[in-house]
Amino acid sequence: MSKKAELKVGDKSYDLPIIEGTENEQGIDIAKLRGESGLITLDPGFKNTGSTKSAITFLDGEKGILRYRGYAIEDLAENSTFIEVSYLLIYGELPTPEQLTKFENEIKFHTLVHEDIKTILEGFPSNSHPMGVLSSLVTSLTAFYPESLDPNRSADKVNLSIIRILAKMPTFAAWAYKNEVGHPVNYPDNNLNYCSNFLKMMFALPAEDYEVDPVIANALDKLLILHADHEQNCSTSTVRIVGSSQASLYASISAGINALWGPLHGGANSAVINMLENIQKDGGDTKKWMAKAKDKDDPFRLMGFGHRVYKNFDPRAKIIKKAADDVLQKLGVNDPILDIAKGLEEVALNDDYFVERKLYPNVDFYSGIIYRALGIPVDMFTVMFALGRLPGWIAQWKEMRENHEPIGRPRQIYTGQGERKYVSVNDR
């Protein structure tokens, strides 16, 4: 017999079905509650609200588990590639060798962007933040491929939009950087793999030879895998909710990029480096900055600490901390900021304030340190996150559309004025 919850309000009671997931997670289905009782549920920030059933990513914040389509993040980060993980997230299974080759070739075929997109790029002032440029260029694809606006197009055509955005995003990301520094853009090199092509477009200069360092390309590939999906976070929920109005894939992804930009989400990786640099300039006294983070009258928060769902440890942070050590050693970089980060982590892990609130380093506490070692400038960190999260956004958008989910539209409790009569301006 299926489980039920009983809700009592005054002398009335309501039976609410309990929905169970594969990993025995349970949720009370309140979809019919309003119709039966007039009641809504209130949960600002959706801290305890499930918005969908999803078969893509499983995470257990208490146990520190993260799996894409059933595969552990540790296994994928160690053994897979970003392109293979993208296929897995989007289509649900790991590809056969033939499927993988076909997928890689399809992506390579579409890396070039319409030449007129350069005109759009040139309209942005130099110094424009690359996240704003990236989201604009992604939306501009709706103009170059207007058929993508049709919500009823065939699955093959939807798939073409998916391939196009996967292929063109590294080009846009590298071009957003080139615009920021005022350099001419590079065109894609389809002899290279996904990350190497991106690095070449980003760093090659007209008068110099550029050889991609495999240590850098591999480290970037691993970082992208770690960021590839994270179930219903702020940007992914944004992608799903925008897509639920039947807006195009490109418009939905562009909205996700903007949601990711904020310092409480994807912008945290830049904020961490800015914070560590400030601590370094200030003499490196980690205890002083810890005290600031705990002071409720001080707006300062320890960036890269805390997570909405991980209340024990972030499994990605474990992998990335080790990767930071490896990459810095392989590249021969000695970054004093890494020592400050480790010092802060040690103090925080033993501090009552952080322990009681279950605040641990998240994935972005160490990702910025690796990006810095790879020569990627701070403004581009969140763009790198967007590049990594892209297959997750696509998979979630596709799942939402294939399941014919209804338009996202939360309710509210109104706390404003009661009805009042309009008074004309001269009588006020």
State how far the Cα of 108 lies from the Cα of 192, in Å rounded to an integer. Answer: 9
- In the complex, what is the shortest distance from the CB of residue 412 to ligand ACO, in angstroms, rounded to a whole number? 19
Is 129 an active-site residue?
no
Could you say whether residue 387 binds ligand ACO (CB under 6 A)? no
Could you say whether residue 292 binds ligand ACO (CB under 6 A)? no
Could you say whether residue 321 binds ligand ACO (CB under 6 A)? no
Tokens of 280: 């370094």
Tokens of 324: 């930071």
Determine how many CB atoms are found less than 10 A away from the CB of residue 266: 27
Stretch binding ligand ACO (CB under 6 A), from 48-56, 116-124, 165-173, 356-364: 356-364
Q: Which is nearer to ligand ACO, 212 or 271 (CB)?
A: 271
State how far the Cα of 389 lies from the Cα of 266, in Å rounded to an integer. Answer: 10
Report the residue from 67, 178, 307, 389 that binds ligand ACO according to the rule CB under 6 A.
307
Is 307 an active-site residue?
yes
Report the residue from 110, 114, 308, 318 that binds ligand ACO according to the rule CB under 6 A.
308
- In the complex, what is the shortest distance from the CB of residue 235 to ligand ACO, in angstroms, rounded to a whole number? 8
Q: Which is nearer to ligand ACO, 141 or 302 (CB)?
A: 302
Among the listed residues 325, 311, 324, the one whose alpha carbon sits nearest the alpha carbon of residue 367:
324
- In the complex, what is the shortest distance from the CB of residue 262 to ligand ACO, in angstroms, rounded to a whole number? 9
Tokens of 281: 């300039």
**Site size for ligand ACO, by CB under 6 A?**
19
Could you say whether residue 355 binds ligand ACO (CB under 6 A)? no
- Contact by Cβ (8 Å): 353, 301: no
Reduced to 3 states, what is the DSSP secondary structure of residue 9? strand
* Cα separation values, 276 from 111, 306, 332, 338, 372, Å: 36, 16, 20, 9, 12
Could you say whether residue 372 binds ligand ACO (CB under 6 A)? no
Which of 209, 307, 335, 379 is labelled catalytic? Answer: 307
Report the residue from 138, 217, 275, 303 that binds ligand ACO according to the rule CB under 6 A.
303
The distance from CA 187 to its chain's CA centroid, rounded to whole angstroms, is 26
Could you say whether residue 268 binds ligand ACO (CB under 6 A)? yes
Q: Which is nearer to ligand ACO, 164 or 265 (CB)?
A: 265
State how far the Cα of 97 lies from the Cα of 154, in Å rounded to an integer. Answer: 26
- The dihedrals phi and psi of 171, each to the nearest 5 degrees, come to -65, -45
Which residues have CB under 8 Å from 282's CB, separation 6+?
A: 288, 289
Stretch binding ligand ACO (CB under 6 A), from 94-102, 239-247, 354-362, 397-405: 354-362
Which of 221, 229, 314, 364 is labelled catalytic? Answer: 364
Over the Cα atoms of the chain, what is R_g? 23
Element spanning 174, H or E: helix 155-181
Stretch binding ligand ACO (CB under 6 A), from 207-215, 327-335, 360-368, 386-394: 360-368
Could you say whether residue 157 binds ligand ACO (CB under 6 A)? no
Binding footprint of ligand ACO on the chain (CB under 6 A): 45, 264-266, 268, 293, 301-308, 357, 359, 362-364
Active site residues per annotation: 307, 364
